Amino acid sequence: MNTTKAYLEHVAIWVKDIRWHIRFFEDVLGMTMREVDGTREEPRQYWTLGGLQFIHNPNYESPEGRLAHLGVMCEDMEAALAAAQQYEVSEMPQGRNWIRLPDGLAVELIQAKPASCVATALAINPRAEV
């Protein structure tokens, strides 16, 4: 029996417009910068608090091979859905908590229960020395 415990530390995805993705995930879900490769003005790669890594590829054209979807735990899913409406997102057939971003990436917003668990998870520093 395996007693090892694990969690997903981050998901890396190719994006055509890295600045759009940075704004969207910061404004809608509060996922601020953890690390950047390049500068904030001209990022090549960008990691968020909350486990996303965007890899800028201006020639990226197809959602195939990127990943199926992102499942994002939210302290307040309704507030996140409301904030998402100011972006060009569309609802998906799976339900109103599923949104498709303009370049094809699917995001499932999940209400965390209890909501305080989001703050606890974000307080973890995966790069801290033990």
Which CATH number covers residue 114?
3.10.180.10
pTM of the model: 0.73
Q: Containing H/E element for 72?
A: strand 70-74
Evaluate whether residue 5 is within a structural domain.
no
Helix and strand totals (H; E) in the chain: 3, 8
| Mean pLDDT in residue range 74-85 | 91
Residue for token digits 């307080």?
123
User: Is the pLDDT at 76 greater than 90, yes or no?
Assistant: no
Residue 37 CA to residue 25 CA, distance in Å, equals 18
Stronger pLDDT, 14 or 5, i.e. the higher one: 14
Instruction: Supply the pLDDT for residue 4.
Output: 45
User: How confident is the model over 117-127, as a mean pLDDT?
Assistant: 76
2 in a domain, yes or no? no
State how far the Cα of 89 lies from the Cα of 96, in Å rounded to an integer.
Answer: 11
Residue 89 structural domain: 11-122
pLDDT tens-digit readout, 10-61: 888 989 899 999 999 999 999 999 999 999 999 999 999 888 999 999 888 8
**What's the confidence (pLDDT) of residue 119?**
77
Which candidate, 49, 106, 48, 114, places its Cα nearest to that of 75? 114
- Whether residue 41 lies inside any domain: the answer is yes
- Scan for tokens 């909350």, then name that residue: 50
Q: Quote the DSSP letter at residue 51.
A: S
pLDDT score recorded for residue 2: 54
Q: What's the structural domain count of the chain?
A: 1
Q: Does residue 33 belong to any structural domain of this protein?
A: yes
- At residue 9, the pLDDT reads 66
Could you tell me if residue 127 is inside a domain? no
| % of the chain surpassing 70 pLDDT | 89
